[in-house]
């Protein structure tokens, strides 16, 4: 496995875990309030959401990154600044 692919997979894994953790905790708390079974219900929601979030990050990160670059490059050109280097 190439280093670039490993980096993309690890990024997707960590980003999806962080977002799933935060969003399922927040939505579970909003919907249920502080109840004795909140932790169990949140954990179930997290385990259910994480695979979907992983797939979404893995598939959507590259096109969203390209869109971001196009938007920033277009903005830089309209104000007379040089375009951003897509490599960083």
pLDDT value of position 1: 86
Residue spans per domain, the chain: 3-58
pLDDT value of position 74: 81
Contact 76, 55 (CB under 8 A): no
pLDDT in tens, 34-66: 999 999 999 999 999 999 999 999 999 999 999
pLDDT band at 24 (very low <50, low <70, confident <90, very high): very high
Rounded distance, CA 86 to CA 73, Å? 9
* DSSP line for 27-50: HHHHHH-S-TTHHHHHHHHHHHHH
| Better-predicted residue by pLDDT, 41 or 83 | 41
pLDDT band at 20 (very low <50, low <70, confident <90, very high): very high
pLDDT band at 23 (very low <50, low <70, confident <90, very high): very high
pTM of the model: 0.69
């Amino acid at each position: 496995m190439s280093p670039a692919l490993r980096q993309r997979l690890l990024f997707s894994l960590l980003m999806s875990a962080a977002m799933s953790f935060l969003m399922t905790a927040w939505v579970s708390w909003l919907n249920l309030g502080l109840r004795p079974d909140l932790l169990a219900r949140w954990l179930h929601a997290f385990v259910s959401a994480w695979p979907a979030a992983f797939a979404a990050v893995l598939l959507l990160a590259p096109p969203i990154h390209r869109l971001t670059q196009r938007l920033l490059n277009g903005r830089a050109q309209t104000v007379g600044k040089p375009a951003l280097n897509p490599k960083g």
